[in-house]
Chains A and B, each alone.
Chain A
Amino acid sequence: MTSIAPGTTATATGAAVELEAVVKSFGTHRALNAIDLTIKPGEFVALLGPSGCGKTTALRALSGLELVDSGRIVIDGVDVAAVPTNKRDIGMVFQSYSLFPHMTAIENVEFGLRMRKVAAGERRGRAAEALDMVGLAAFAERFSHQLSGGQQQRVALARALVTRPRVLLLDEPLSALDAKVRVQLRDEIRRIQTELGITTVFVTHDQEEALAVADRVAVMRDGAIEQIGTPEELYATPRTPFVADFVGLSNRIPADLIDGRVVAHGVGMELLGEPMDDGPVTAYIRPEDVALASEGIRATVVTSSFLGSLRRTQVALSDESLVSIQHDVDVRPQLGDVVFLRLKGAAVSAVRRTT
């Protein structure tokens, strides 16, 4: 594949980006509730969260498309909160197809250079390089209606990158695409980002997508960041039940907090996150932290599905609560089978349970 990217030298290290106590309200709704976020130069950060959590607003605040009520937005050490979008030197790819319909692919890519008054010859050359980078050199003269959804988003990516922006902002760029194209393009975005070393913020509601591409993932909730960390940290040590629930799959199992440790079905587990007072809690336990055993917690098989390299089975406990477990594909539980479960005792997050 082509690896010569425009501006490899110019943006070899992207800009540092910082949000400081940024507040943004729409009417009575606080979309951003004093959010703080620090992104290192060249880092790929994903903002992950359910719809309405403020992730898109945070991105739009960075881009200047949304003006914030208070707080600082710092790019490369300069507060840009009052700088209009067209002066912020950013590149952005939108969720909906945003190519200009009356321009060909290459004219679209040239647009940003035209706005920067780059001479025609250089403009063409750089635009062609950028199209080549996203693998669409052969489609330069196509109009957007002649391109597939995935191709349109590639052109949009080339258009956003050709001006060598300091920051690349991606607003759910994959959500309108087919599952297969989505995976393909997401890997390609990561490859190009790594090559260019451009600071990138990627908004998504798909946890798998976020975990797959980002250096760090910020899980957002109610206009603030609940936890930020590498994908591995988030998955292994979710600091709150919300994160445990949103990142990966978790079983909610009634437990008790005794001497600061979570105890469920006679198994003691380390508590992640802030310490709590002893008492009844709900523990968030990963499917892979529950094993099938010859004796232990009695359960009845409800469903079992084949996931390629492993099998996930859902069972019902005696109190009718459902638990998901993950196991070898060789074990094939049948509907109605009685099985026994064992908790492996990995550290868990928990929330106070009111009985």
Chain B
Amino acid sequence: MTVAQAPALTSGDAGATPRRHPLSGPAQVRPARRGVGKFLGLTPFALYVILFLAIPTILAVTTGFFTEDGAFTFDNVMGIFAPTVLATFGNSFLVSAVTAVVGAVVGALVCYALLGTKAEGALRATIDSISSVLAQFGGVMLAFAFIATIGTQGLVTRILAEVFGVDLFASGPWLYQVPGLLVVYLYFQVPLMVITFMPALEGLKITWAEANATLGGTPFTYWTRIAIPVLAPSFIGSLLLLFANAFSSYATAAALVSQGSPIVPLQIRGALISETVLGRENMAGALALGMIVVMVVVMWGYSVLQSRTSRWQK
């Protein structure tokens, strides 16, 4: 390779003009490219996003309005309102809401416990990393973990049975059904809360607590009148993120649930694989539309709440 030639290859005008002495004066400023030309640099990313984000999303939410033959129909979308499908949405909603609330509360407690530890210390680094792993890497692995723990032959199941004589499955194989999802989802919801909420909690200034004390306040008034009101918008924001996270989660349920499709993502799988669920084609598209609607409503609710509760935020 001839390294010396490299500049000539990378910069168009380097070869044309004689080399300037670095101190011979200000560099010539290239005239700014005008009009459409200057947007040229944005096209690769734009094309990519259109092809792999915009088109799939549009396809996903519109296919529900068409039959296999391309004719327009409302049948699929109306299919969402079938009792069985509605029940699925209900389950998804329940699992998401319960795990979001419990996850948010437990996660916030963990964040509180971490207050006052060094941000770059070993404890925090470890908890941050563990949280990230569990929050973003869970999926199939979580199903394994819980089958090994409280599955029919799980470690805890056996200990409970052998030592305490308690049958964890007296009321049926609940781990592989909706109640199981409630337990397992918490395993990624709590860590997600820790990651997303910790920055907000760290944003509490120590001088607020000091000012509270010098003004005659107690630790109780610090939390009820200052810290909690200040944190409320972030807390609700994190809560909704947790809801959305559980609502769209698929892998854990796919690996855990043994029978049927009790939540919406599993029902989409059923529709995609068989294409004949409930006797309708393109049902997956309708279900996807339903999910998007729920997600958009959640996000919209968040922005409304945000603008109402946080006049004081920048």
Contact = CB atoms under 8 A, between A and B. Distances in A.
Direct contact of A and B (CB under 8 A): yes
B211 interface: yes
A87 B229 CA distance: 24
Contacts of A94: 207, 210-211
Given A100-B230, A143-B311, A115 B208 contact: no
A54 interface: no
Q: Which among A63, A64, A87, A112 has the highest number of chain B CB atoms within 10 Å?
A: A112
A112 B213 CA distance: 9
Contacts of A64: 213
B213 A98 contact: no
Interface string A275-300: 00000000000000000000000000
B214 interface: yes
B221 interface: yes
Interface in A267-323: none
Contacts of B230: 100-102
A103 B213 CA distance: 17
Interface string A69-86: 000000000000000111
Interface in B298-314: 311-314
A30 B218 CA distance: 29
B216 interface: yes
A116 B216 CA distance: 7
Given A86-B218, A98-B205, A103 B210 contact: no
A163 interface: yes
A102 B216 CA distance: 19
Interface residues of B, number: 21
A212 B226 CA distance: 36
B213 A84 contact: yes
B205 A163 contact: no
B215 A145 contact: no
Contacts of A89: 216
Contacts of B313: 101, 145
B205 A96 contact: yes
B217 interface: yes
Nearest to B203: A101
B314 A145 contact: yes
A143 B311 CA distance: 9
B208 to A, nearest CB: 6
Nearest to A104: B312
A101 B312 contact: yes
A159 interface: yes
B214 A90 contact: yes
A65 B213 contact: yes
B215 A102 contact: no
Given A98-B205, A100-B230, A102-B229, A92 B214 contact: yes
Interface string A135-162: 0000000011100000000001001100
A91 interface: yes
Contacts of A87: 216
Contacts of B229: 102
A194 to B, nearest CB: 22
A111 interface: yes
B213 A85 contact: yes
Contacts of B225: 111, 114
Interface of B: 205, 207-208, 210-218, 221, 225-226, 229-230, 311-314
Given A115-B216, A145-B312, 13 more contacts: A63-B214, A86-B215, A86-B216, A86-B218, A88-B214, A92-B211, A92-B214, A98-B211, A100-B208, A102-B226, A102-B229, A111-B225, A163-B215
Nearest 9 A/B pairs, CB to CB:
A112-B215, A115-B216, A98-B207, A85-B213, A92-B214, A143-B312, A98-B211, A102-B312, A94-B207
5 contacts: A86-B215, A88-B214, A116-B216, A145-B314, A160-B215
